[in-house]
Structure 1
Amino acid sequence: MEGSEDYPKEHERSITITTTSIHVTALDGLVNVNSLFTIAVFVGLSLTTPHQQSLENKDICDAGPTEAKKLLLFEVVSFSFFLFSSLIAQGLKLAINLLNSKDVDEAFRAHINLKVLRFGMLGSAFGSVMGCVFLVLSMVDVIQIRLGLLSCGSKAAVRAVAALVTLVSTALAAYISTAIYAFTH
């Protein structure tokens, strides 16, 4: 009899642990992806030098200082979003682990609002998505600097940008839908 009374508590605890592990795993994945993208930001910055001639070998296809400035701006904004997202995710992981720790008293648990945690998770995912958007914009500028301006009709640049936008948009759509589901259920 006594064992059956403990069953609902144990069952509830196992559901909480499973949900916690899903959320922590999702946040870990977010931090790992942000780290990889941050590396891409610095690689993009290192590939750009002033007065670089494009591979198109036409002077009208060479990017000017405007593209280099936009590249730098987009890279910094992208890095900022990835850093924002990663810091929020790390804080949420700590809060989730504290919430489920046996060493934390009930008064502290009462102060942690689950809706705020979920909102934070969505905010972290949003930061990662926005970082990706700005990273794509910066990569378009890298492509224009290296392969030639899109406005001059560089076929290589147009194909590279089309592939980049198509593949990243598809991946972001899959990521957004999965992240929203994971963080709201």
Structure 2
Amino acid sequence: MDESEWSVQRAASASTATATTTTTSVHVTALDGLVNVNSLFTIAVFVGLSLTTPGQRSLENKQACDADPDVARKLLVFEVVSFSFFLFSSLVAQGLKLAINLLNSKDVNEAFRAHINFKILRLGMMASAVGSVMGCLFLMLSMVNVIEIRLGMLSCGSKSTVHAVAALLILVSSALLVYISTAIYAFMQ
């Protein structure tokens, strides 16, 4: 092999290493962000769980507007399911990060270059994103129950309850649409 072939091969190898390094770094950063967001949502789950005291009166101050025990029961179920999805999502993301980091550390000279199966990585990232979205949906449902317990049932027609639920549904749904579209876009790349 002459000098020009050698330099072309070295340049191609360096280009591949840079692309893989960048890709791997982006994946690890995305997985870190997902785990951090799931941690914040998990805190919200435990705040919601602390509000499941039986017999609690609403701020509407009408007996008919107070939530029955079935609403508190649904709140608890939604919180547990939400927590389960967030835990699933975080564990999958942490597992992917661990695999990437282990693969990166195999060769000391190529510390930032991992030879990973991108189909499995993309599938794992999609599973983690789906778990996070499902966790958000169940967290949103549980927050509707928290609003009903604290402000009064939706069937009561209280303006504060309707406004709070409407704001929650509109804002969270919009954010989930943005998240889902970017996750699908990233999955297609």
Look up the SS of the partner of 2:163 in the other structure: helix
The answer to whether the 8 A contact 1:23-1:183 is kept is no
Whole-Å Cα distance in 2 between the matches of residues 117 and 84 of structure 1? 16
What is the aligned partner in structure 2 of residue 91 from structure 1?
A: 95
Whole-Å Cα distance in 2 between the matches of residues 98 and 118 of structure 1? 17
Identity of aligned residues (%): 72
Residue 178 of structure 1: how far off its partner (Å) = 1.5
Q: Does 1:169 align with 2:155?
A: no
What is the aligned partner in structure 1 of residue 71 from structure 2?
A: 67
Whole-Å Cα distance in 1 between the matches of residues 10 and 91 of structure 2? 38
Of the two structures, which has the highest relative contact order with CA contacts closer than 8 Å and spacing of 6 or more? 1
Which of these residues, 123, 133, 139, is aligned with residue 137 of structure 2? 133
Residue 115 of structure 1: how far off its partner (Å) = 1.1
Residue 81 of structure 1: how far off its partner (Å) = 0.2
Whole-Å Cα distance in 2 between the matches of residues 63 and 134 of structure 1? 19
Look up the SS of the partner of 1:115 in the other structure: helix
Which of these residues, 26, 30, 40, is aligned with residue 26 of structure 1? 30
Residue 102 of structure 1: how far off its partner (Å) = 4.3
Residue 37 of structure 1: how far off its partner (Å) = 0.1
The answer to whether the 8 A contact 1:17-1:100 is kept is no
Whole-Å Cα distance in 2 between the matches of residues 84 and 130 of structure 1? 10
Residue 45 of structure 1: how far off its partner (Å) = 1.0
Aligned Cα RMSD in Å?
Answer: 1.6
Deviation string 1:99-120 (CA, Å, 9 cap, x unpaired) is 344439xxxx88x532122111
Which of these residues, 154, 174, 182, is aligned with residue 178 of structure 1? 182
What is the aligned partner in structure 1 of residue 107 from structure 2?
A: 103
Look up the SS of the partner of 2:61 in the other structure: coil
Whole-Å Cα distance in 2 between the matches of residues 124 and 76 of structure 1? 18
Whole-Å Cα distance in 1 between the matches of residues 40 and 126 of structure 2? 20
Residue 142 of structure 1: how far off its partner (Å) = 0.1
In the superposition, relative to structure 1, how do residues 170 and 180 fare at CA in structure 2: closer, same or farther (>3 Å)? same
Q: Which runs of 5+ in 1 are unaligned?
A: none
Residue 49 of structure 1: how far off its partner (Å) = 1.2
Q: Which structure 1 residue ranges, 4+ long, deviate > 4 Å from structure 2?
A: none
Letter in 2 for 1:90: Q
Question: Across the two proteins, how many residue pairs are aligned to each other?
Answer: 180
Letter in 1 for 2:149: I
Range that drifts further, 140-149 or 18-27 = 18-27
The answer to whether the 8 A contact 2:48-2:146 is kept is yes
The answer to whether the 8 A contact 1:26-1:182 is kept is no
Whole-Å Cα distance in 2 between the matches of residues 183 and 91 of structure 1? 18
